Amino acid sequence: MRATIAAVRAREILDSGGRPTVEVDLTLTDGTSARSSVPSGVSTGSHEACELRDGDDSRYGGDGVLGAVGNVRDTIGPALVGRSPFAQAELDSYLVSLDGTPDRSRLGANALLAVSTAAARAAASSSGRPLWQHLGGGRVMPLPMVNIISGGLHSDGGLAFQDFLASPVGATSFREALEWAWAVRSATATVLRERGMSTLKATEGGFGPPLPEPAAALDLLVEAVARTGLALGEQMALSIDVAATHFHNGSRYQLAPEQDALDAGGLVDRLAELVERYPIVSIEDGLAEDDWQGWAILTRRLAADVQILGDDLFTTNAVRLARGIEDGVGNAVLVKMNQIGTLTETIQVIEQAQAAGYASVVSARSGETCDDFIADLAVGTDAGQIKVGSLAQSERLAKYNQLLRIEEQLGAKAKFAGSAALRSRH
């Protein structure tokens, strides 16, 4: 007889930004125990599931999660005792019903997700299988999008765009891709020092130097890639996360205080100019989260040549993704488990994207823990791409290192996604 859930415990811990988050220990009747913790975002979409915070200003500025922890201890845990961790979809459906709200605001998406992923880990361990195999048994190692320069809400450098990333599209393995990305990051640091600029790290481990405009960041990356000897556009390409919602005032886009605000068409023109000048293969959140008309313009203009990736637009939500697919908006979805609240719903969005020919990019958050679940998720679902942050800081490296281990476990069966991961049928 298979093991069932015997106990669920929770606690408040701190994430990489020093903000409280939820960690869960889940134990089975056969003695198997598993632990999971959840991330949180600084740049968040308004359509994300509710991350329950205490709001008590006397603790952590109101960001405490003792209420979410209490919900695991007093409501979720007792309700799960005796249930199977092997029927993930059934378990997650029960969690959703326990909460009973569309946005997971009663118990908290942070509470639900910690339990959901801990149950999956426990089931995998009890079965004697690696987590990636338990999640689907994929064998595609994802193409990493590695943060090199940060702006937006992730840095104080003044750049409107949030991330400037290295995409090692010409690599033949995940290990080689990581080596190439490391070389670009190292060369970028050298260029910054030579120019007398800061090499201090931003939120996700990228550099956050003061730069006047996005083109300046891209020029810096072009020089860094040249110094590595890698072929720009063939071996190493560039990606950007515009995160346009944070500089959208409801009708127009304000890239800088001294510049005239742009309408959606004007911002798309700017992005098209960058694509013309630089080997950009992916644009994330090029327009604001509810600017569907602007997204349609961007998709018609650039989707034939560039990955048009929705984060705040889709928020790992099957309903919003379905609208995008129906309207022909974007051609890729960023996947963040805590935007929706359970593992099953996350995997359903990946499968929904894959069925429609949309690419999927499994992503970390700005506030991370050393939990490496998303590495296994990316491989187990054959997602094809992963966006973790830079090659710095233990909460980022935990994911990269787990992917190296998985590639070793797969051996000759491992298939590296490479540039093919960027191509959709849309």
Cα 161 from Cα 150, distance rounded (Å): 8
* Domains in the chain with CATH codes: 5-128 (3.30.390.10), 140-422 (3.20.20.120)
The confidence score (pLDDT) of residue 13 equals: 98
Tokens 């500089």 belong to residue = 247
**pLDDT of 52 higher than 70:** yes
Lowest-pLDDT range, 91-105, 229-243, 255-269?
255-269
Give the dihedral of Cα atoms 368, 373, 375, 376; nearest 10 deg.
Answer: -170
**236-263 pLDDT, tens digit each:** 999 999 999 999 988 899 988 778 899 9
Distance of CA 292 to the CA centre of its chain: 21
Query: What H or E segment, with its residue span, contains residue 218?
Result: helix 214-228
Q: Quickly state the pLDDT bin for 426 (edges 50, 70, 90).
A: very low
pLDDT at 1: 81
pLDDT at 425 over 50: no
204 carries an active-site annotation? yes
The 10s digit of each residue's pLDDT in 121-151 is 999 999 999 999 999 989 999 999 999 999 8
- Please say if the pLDDT value at position 157 is more than 80: no
Percentage above 70 pLDDT, the chain: 98
84 burial level (CB within 10 Å; 0-12, 13-18, 19+): middle
Instruction: Find the Cα–Cα–Cα–Cα dihedral 361, 362, 364, 365, rounded to 10°.
Output: 60
pLDDT of 251 reads 86
Q: Of the ranges 42-46, 279-283, 342-346, 392-396, which one carries the lowest mean pLDDT score?
A: 42-46
- pLDDT, residue 132, reads 98
Residues 6+ apart with CB under 8 A from 132: 138, 375, 376, 377, 379, 380, 406
- Please give the distance of CA 293 from its chain centroid, rounded to a whole number: 25
Residue 34: strand pairing partners:
26
Q: How confident is the model at residue 424 (pLDDT cuts 50, 70, 90)?
A: low
Q: Is 179 helix (H, G, I), strand (E, B) or coil?
A: helix
Q: Are 298 and 271 in contact (CB under 8 A)?
A: yes
The catalytic position among 336, 345, 387, 399 is 336
pLDDT in tens, 347-356: 999 999 999 9
413 belongs to the catalytic site: no
**CA–CA separation, 354 and 358 (whole Å):** 6
What is the tens place of the pLDDT at every residue in 379-413?
999 999 999 999 999 999 999 999 999 999 999 99
Catalytic residue among 12, 51, 204, 407, which?
Answer: 204
The residue type of 322 is A
Question: Among positive and negative, which fits the CA dihedral 125, 414, 366, 48?
Answer: negative
The pLDDT of residue 371 is 98
pLDDT bucket at 101, cuts 50 / 70 / 90: very high
pLDDT in tens, 274-328: 999 999 999 999 999 999 999 999 999 999 999 999 999 999 999 999 999 999 9
* pTM (2 d.p.): 0.96
Percent of the chain with pLDDT over 90: 89
- What band does 43 get if pLDDT is binned at 50, 70 and 90? low
Mean pLDDT of the chain: 95
Residue 419, CB-side half-sphere exposure with 13 Å CA sphere? 15
56 CB-near residues (< 8 Å, 6+ apart): 62, 64
> Which amino acid, one-letter code, is at 167?
S
The whole-number pLDDT of residue 250 equals 84
Alpha helices in 356-423 (DSSP H): 373-380, 394-410
Tokens of 283: 């644009």
